[in-house]
Amino acid sequence: MTTMSNTKTGYKQTEVGLIPGDWKVFKLGQCLLKNPDYGINAAAVEYDDTLPTYLRITDISEDGKFISSNKASVNNSLSNSYYLEKGDIVFARTGASVGKTYLYNENDGRLVFAGFLIRIKANPEVVDYRYLIYLTQTKTYWAWVSANSMRSGQPGLNSNEYKSFQIPLPPTIAEQTAIANALIDADALISGLEKLIAKKRNIKQGAMQKLLQPKEGWEVKKLGEICEFTQGIQIPMSDLNKQSNEGLIRYLYIRDFFTDDFQWYVANIYPSKIMERTDIMMINTGNTAGKVYSGAYGVLSNNAFKISFNQNVVDRNYLFELLKSKFVQSSIQELFNSSGQPHVGHKNIAKVIIPFPPKDEQTHIATILSDMESEISALETKLEKYKKVKLGMMQNLLTGKIRLV
């Protein structure tokens, strides 16, 4: 039976930091069967199941998975020389995605890799390729990518530079494999939870479509008939403060709805622009235009507007769920400006048509949907916990702080 023990002594200082005394540091190039090779230089064509599936940088997700939703093919006589095989890892070599990696998964089908990717084949007598792919998910790896890819113009790393990446290796393949298996188990938990959340979201979407089917006694209204919209305000940087002093109030940028790491504060002299925690806000510009948020308090910036309504007539939770629904979101996206980054004004939003039942039915629908959302939120909280646990495992296992022996 495998046991886990903390390694507290016997460390040595190396180029990659403290590692156990019996571990060694190798350059990536020393762990390969042959020199890395570049992908095929060929144009993508419309997906055709009679042609090879093309793997481009854009087909790799941020967490190293194959994105199958927008597949393309490649039609080139040399394609047979560029099929990925079991154990192959590809690295993005240029652009904003430089450093991104993908370990070929046979379940993704046969893939031909493109020219902006570099393939490596790990030597199984030196390194377990699954151990290697986890090394490319560490903070150490990404710090190395950042430090080595910054050139004049577009960031990039060539095959020789990737070969110079230094990695800590346990003394046996068996220990590497044990580490990889532990992290694979963690990934399986994360993947299972992600699938469950997706399933629950689909169930909620189906329930929403059914619940929002107009019934006798319902009305059809424009949003502008039941809501008022207040545009946020642009405040000069000279009037912003990084500290929350007396008399100051938080200034809400879009990013403040995703993180608390960066905040500005402003004098509390814009009462009409204040968003209460119970208010609904809609972003009107950028990649998240049309999205709605709630639960924040502060003065709203000019890239969003506040949605107000008569609470005696409109159930807040009903309106919030309705504005998040595919039904309303698809209507909003049709209003986006045709050029430049997405943008939609509240005058256009006011024209969106919605189903509007009596208040008691709104509350009933909102309760059902809110309960479903609470269940999903609890699962998402658990998912974030699992991801943090995995990061901690990686930090401990891939540096030898914890040994699997």
Of 102, 120, 114, nearest in space to 163 by CA:
120
pLDDT tens series, the chain, 405 aa: 444 545 457 899 999 999 999 999 999 999 999 999 999 999 999 999 999 999 999 999 999 999 999 899 999 999 999 999 999 999 999 988 999 999 999 999 999 999 999 999 999 999 999 999 999 999 999 999 999 988 656 789 999 999 999 999 999 999 999 999 999 999 999 999 999 999 999 999 999 989 988 899 999 999 999 999 999 998 888 888 877 777 788 888 776 665 555 578 888 788 888 888 888 999 988 888 888 988 888 888 888 999 989 989 999 999 999 998 888 888 888 888 666 778 888 888 999 999 999 999 999 999 999 999 999 999 999 999 999 999 999 999 999 999 987
Domain encompassing residue 91: 24-169
Tokens standing for residue 176: 């590497």
Q: State whether 318 and 402 are in the same domain.
A: no
**Tokens found for residue 45:** 């064509």
Whether 75 maps to a domain, the answer reads yes
Residues 240 and 190 both lie in one domain: no
| Tokens matching residue 362 | 């709104």
DSSP state string for 10-38: -EEEETTEEEETT-EEEEGGGGBSS--EE
Written as one letter, the residue type at 72 is: A
Is residue 141 situated within a structural domain?
yes
Q: Are residues 131 and 230 in the same domain?
A: no
CB 98, CB 162: distance < 8 Å: no
Distance of CA 153 to the CA centre of its chain: 26
Question: 142 with 185, same domain?
Answer: no
Domain for residue 233, yes or no? yes
**How many structural domains are present in the chain?**
3
Residues 198 and 225 in one domain: no
Domain of 185, CATH number, reads 1.10.287.1120
Residues 369 and 344 in one domain: no
Cβ count near 209 (within 10 Å): 12
Shared domain for 60 and 144, answered yes or no, is yes
Judge if 28 and 165 occupy the same domain: yes
Please tell me whether residues 205 and 236 are part of one structural domain: no
Q: Is the domain of 251 the same as that of 325?
A: yes
pTM across the whole model: 0.80
Residue 280 Cα to chain centre, angstroms = 24
295 and 195 part of one domain = no
What one-letter code names the amino acid at 302?
N
- CA-to-CA dists, residue 148 to 145, 152, 168, 395, angstroms: 5, 12, 19, 22
As a whole number of angstroms, the distance between CA 381 and CA 373 comes to 12
Residues 130 and 185 in one domain: no
